[in-house]
Structure 1
Amino acid sequence: MAGSGFAYLNARLRARRSQMVPELFFQQALGQSFPDFVRALGDTVYGPDMVGDGLADVDRAVASHMQRMVGDLPGLVTGNMREAVNLLLLQADLNNLKTILRGKAAGQSPEEIKGRLVGGTLPEVLVNAMLQAPDVASVAQVLQLPTHPLAKALRAAASLTDPLALEVALDRDFYANSLEKARRLREPALASYFGLQVDATNLTTAFKLHALGVTTTEGYFVPGGSHVSPVLFNRVAAGDFAALEALSGTPLAPASAARNLGELERALRQILLSKAAQGGKDTLGAGLALDYIRRKEWEGARIRLLARRAYYNLPADAVAKEVA
């Protein structure tokens, strides 16, 4: 893969990284009223996207900003370089699809679900149609995109009645496709990151299986990781958290002390953000795009969470750990 195209993209990314919301904003937001939060957000790079002063307006501003600052990245490069950058945005499609399916299972309204969606490659009209679809089979019918890796995966898994099994089926297809493509494109930073995400996914699934009391773990393990073996997966799913000591000396070591899903997800989020940050050294590949996209997704998620804390007048400690 030629480095010249990425040299141009990375120069643009460095300029955009310098405009990210400063940490002080997030610290101050923990104690602000909703009107004060909206005013403070209007003074950041999200200001041009703010139209109105309600919670839904904050969500729309985040979505619009992400589309401008992240959604345009594949268009700045061509060929294999575009494929590599687009691969990173497909991750948001996976997360959005899971969020939609979870929301529907919980009986949430389309508006509630939409407030938690992030970027991605799917056009808004298609996302809105998925939000209005009554069930999984209907969502699969809406997602009729022949070249999208999740479309075929969802149609194949739509008959599954276990929500967790459905998500794992999507994960399995998505990561198999992503790992194969990252290696074919000769993007080691992306392949390494996706491999670590597979490990993180398996740990999360094992914790969920234990919490649900599921004793049969067959079919829930996603291949492609390097540090979480099927044996470790099964032990954790059975409640043997001491088995996590096997992660010592691996990038997943900070997660070894987790004993519940909340602790695990916070540790994994930090691990994956740190892993993505290593891509900042990848001057001739898609590593810097990986770092920037994950930073912006985390920035948008924090803004939305803090907006809800302020809107519902929740105490700061209710979300402090989640936005740290």
Structure 2
Amino acid sequence: MAGSSFAYLNARLRARRSQMVPEAFFQQSIGLSFPDFVRALADTIYGPDLVGEALADVDRAVTSHMQRMVGDLPGLVSGNMREAINLLLLQSDLNNLKTILRGKVAGQSPEEIKGKLVSGTLPEVLLNALLQAPDAASMAQVLQLPTHPLAKALRNAATGNPDPLALEVALDRDFYAFSLEKARRLREPALASYFALQVDALNLTTAFKLHTLGAGGAEGYFVPGGSSVNQALFSRVAAGDFGAMEALNATPLAAASSARTLGELERALRRILLEKAAQGGKDTLGAGLALDYIRRKEWEGARIRLLARRAYFNLPAEAVAKEVA
């Protein structure tokens, strides 16, 4: 039954993958003026969702398109298959919460933050309420969903009034503990393996941030669940011992071992995780293809938003070239 249900879903996903924005669009759009960029976007699959010619209209088009092409996936399957797809969208909820928290710390408006959100399981009315909440504690009061794994995590983390990075790590710990256990219980090895690699990537990113901030007590920021980055390596990198990165050469994170700045690291990790997700395309009887499709669409939407901002603010093409590649 599971195999046949995923066979149906995967057939739909293959059809949707064939309609994704071609790579040529991103390369050709990198130097366009904003009006020309909007016209070019209107000729893609995002065209039906693009109403207006402002930057906010581009953001709304991405959000609307993602809701149609990703948000509907759980409704195409049932039972354990639906749980597996919802698990992937739950990660989008995690990313949205962190984006909102970061935006509030940076003093961004709710509209600015909303333009960076992706399609998850939380309804738009609840996301709008979270955007209007003044701080993490208020957000925890808004997210009163007994069955949502991140509701309790946000409530517990916000109570202690931790620093922004510690608050994100607290959310990450709860999310990955829940997701790794559930992926294994659902017998979805592709998802479990991907989540474990994400934990490794997350720990490396956090270690680089701690080094930049000069923060002590690195051990308190480590997230369990990975397979290549242990706490000893994490602590060494956080202390500035980048030579410790050589230990990654024999792991799936080898391509990130030479990174020495946060930007270099994030670009390398993004490639590694996209390639890992792409391996799910071979998972014909599980949620691996859905993993690949969702991550591809999220990356597609992120690139469109980035190019839109480059064009809108008339930034030089080289300012975003590495991020769009």
Q: TM-score range by the shorter chain?
A: over 0.9
Q: Which amino acid is 2:45 matched to?
A: V
Aligned to 2:56: 56
Question: How many Å apart are 1:225 and its aligned residue?
Answer: 0.3
Aligned to 1:297: 298
Q: Which amino acid is 1:167 matched to?
A: E
Q: Is the 8 A contact 2:6 2:287 kept in 1?
A: yes
Q: Is 1:95 aligned to residue 82 of structure 2? A: no
Aligned to 2:276: 275
Local SS of the residue matching 2:219: coil
User: Equivalences for 1:4-23 in 2 at 5 Å?
Assistant: 4-23=4-23
Aligned to 1:262: 263
Aligned to 1:233: 234
Aligned to 1:39: 39
The CA distance in 2 between the partners of 1:255 and 1:97, in whole Å, is: 26
Q: Is 1:85 aligned to residue 85 of structure 2? A: yes
Q: Is the 8 A contact 2:219 2:231 kept in 1?
A: no
Aligned to 2:192: 191
Give the TM-score normalised by structure 2. 0.99
User: Equivalences for 1:88-127 in 2 at 5 Å?
Assistant: 88-127=88-127
Unmatched 5+ residue regions in structure 1? none
Q: Deviations over 1:7-40 (max 9, x none)?
A: 0000000000000000010001111000000000
Q: Which amino acid is 1:182 matched to?
A: A
User: Equivalences for 1:148-297 in 2 at 5 Å?
Assistant: 148-158=148-158, 159-297=160-298
The CA distance in 2 between the partners of 1:105 and 1:63, in whole Å, is: 23
Local SS of the residue matching 1:218: helix
Q: Deviations over 1:44-76 (max 9, x none)?
A: 000000010100000000000000000000000
The CA distance in 2 between the partners of 1:29 and 1:177, in whole Å, is: 40
Question: How many Å apart are 1:2 and its aligned residue?
Answer: 1.9
Name the % identity: 85
**How many equivalent pairs are there?**
324
Aligned to 2:316: 315
The CA distance in 1 between the partners of 2:6 and 2:155, in whole Å, is: 35
Local SS of the residue matching 2:252: coil
Local SS of the residue matching 2:134: coil
Q: Which amino acid is 2:25 matched to?
A: F
Question: How many Å apart are 1:314 and its aligned residue?
Answer: 0.5
Q: Is the 8 A contact 2:211 2:239 kept in 1?
A: yes
Question: How many Å apart are 1:219 and its aligned residue?
Answer: 1.6
The CA distance in 1 between the partners of 2:106 and 2:305, in whole Å, is: 20
Local SS of the residue matching 1:194: helix
Unmatched 5+ residue regions in structure 2? none
The CA distance in 2 between the partners of 1:166 and 1:116, in whole Å, is: 20
Give the TM-score normalised by structure 1. 0.99
Question: How many Å apart are 1:161 and its aligned residue?
Answer: 2.6
Local SS of the residue matching 2:276: helix
Aligned to 1:128: 128
